[in-house]
């Protein structure tokens, strides 16, 4: 089995692209944001634990997030692998992921980043907020705070994965189809 990490700032288009890529490569798509929102909506213990952080656009603590991800992986060992979206977001999460993949005998084929500049991304998220129903997409201060979180906690993962020779970047500006094409071209060299 393989794992691919889709990497990129909020609004970069990870979720949109994951919908195509999971079909194309027969992967289970795990979006930690989606799993948290599902738990929030259903009022589970996990949802209650995550709520305070999510409502403030902060990262949910690593321990909670890592346990949740391990559970999702455990439940979905039936495809050719995993497409992670929104995980890892900290070095600690990346280390936990490495241990988990090793334990499950899953190869980290690569991490692929969708790149775009912040102003374009904030505009996209505000647009998405009109229909997504996500409170964190409707408030510019919360959106900006997610970029602060990204720069402080997630950006260091670029070097972390570059040092392991598994980091790839793709231009995230263009039509959905164009970007799927760019991502597929990279992924085809990884699997
Ligand atoms: P976006 O990428 O647009 O910020 P996500 O759906 O990926 O949206 O995440 C929404 C929220 O869920 C984050 O602001 C954070 O509170 C929480 N979250 C998602 N993934 C993680 C993660 N890997 N670690 C910690 N918190 C996370």
pLDDT at 169: 98
Nearest by Cα to 84 from 178, 168, 2:
2
pLDDT at 185: 98
β-pair type (81-85, 2-7): parallel
pTM over 0.85: yes
Whole-angstrom distance, CA of residue 55 vs CA of residue 37: 11
Active site residue 182: no
Active site residue 89: yes
β-pair type (27-31, 107-115): unpaired
pLDDT at 146: 96
Active site residue 128: yes
**pLDDT tens per residue, range 38-82:** 999 999 999 999 999 999 999 999 999 999 999 999 999 999 999
Q: Which residues of 116-135 are buried (b: 16+ CB within 10 A; e: fewer)?
A: beeeebbebbeebbeeeeee
Q: Where are the alpha helices (DSSP H) in the chain?
A: 14-25, 32-41, 45-55, 62-75, 91-103, 118-132, 140-149, 156-163, 176-190
pLDDT at 113: 97
Give me the tens of pLDDT residue by residue for the chain, a chain 191 residues long: 999 999 999 999 999 999 999 999 999 999 999 999 999 999 999 999 999 999 999 999 999 999 999 999 999 999 999 999 999 999 999 999 999 999 999 999 999 999 999 999 999 999 999 999 998 999 999 999 999 999 999 999 999 999 999 999 999 999 999 999 999 999 999 99
Mutate which of 36, 41, 56, 154 for ligand 1? The one with the most ligand atoms within 8 Å of its CB, which is 36
5 lines ligand 1 (CB under 6 A): no
pLDDT at 151: 96
pLDDT at 68: 97
Mutate which of 33, 67, 156 for ligand 1? The one with the most ligand atoms within 8 Å of its CB, which is 33
Report all structural domains of the chain as residue ranges with CATH numbers, in order of start: 2-190 (3.40.50.300)
């Amino acid at each position: 089995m393989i794992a691919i990490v889709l990497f990129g700032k909020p609004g970069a288009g990870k979720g949109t692209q994951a919908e195509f890529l999971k079909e194309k490569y027969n992967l289970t798509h795990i979006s930690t944001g989606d799993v948290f929102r599902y738990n929030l909506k259903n009022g589970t213990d996990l949802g209650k634990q995550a709520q305070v952080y999510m409502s403030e656009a902060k990262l949910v603590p690593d321990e909670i997030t890592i346990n949740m991800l391990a559970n999702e992986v455990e439940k979905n060992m039936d495809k050719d692998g995993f497409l992670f979206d929104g995980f890892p977001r900290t070095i600690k999460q990346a280390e936990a992921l490495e241990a988990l993949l090793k334990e499950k005998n899953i190869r980290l084929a690569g991490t692929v980043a969708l790149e775009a500049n912040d102003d374009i991304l904030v505009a996209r998220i505000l647009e998405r907020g009109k229909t997504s129903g996500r409170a964190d997409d409707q408030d510019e201060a919360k959106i900006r705070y997610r970029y602060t979180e990204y720069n402080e906690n997630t950006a260091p993962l670029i070097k972390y994965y570059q040092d392991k020779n598994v980091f790839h970047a793709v231009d995230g500006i263009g039509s959905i189809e164009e970007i799927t094409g760019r991502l597929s071209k990279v992924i085809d060299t990884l699997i």
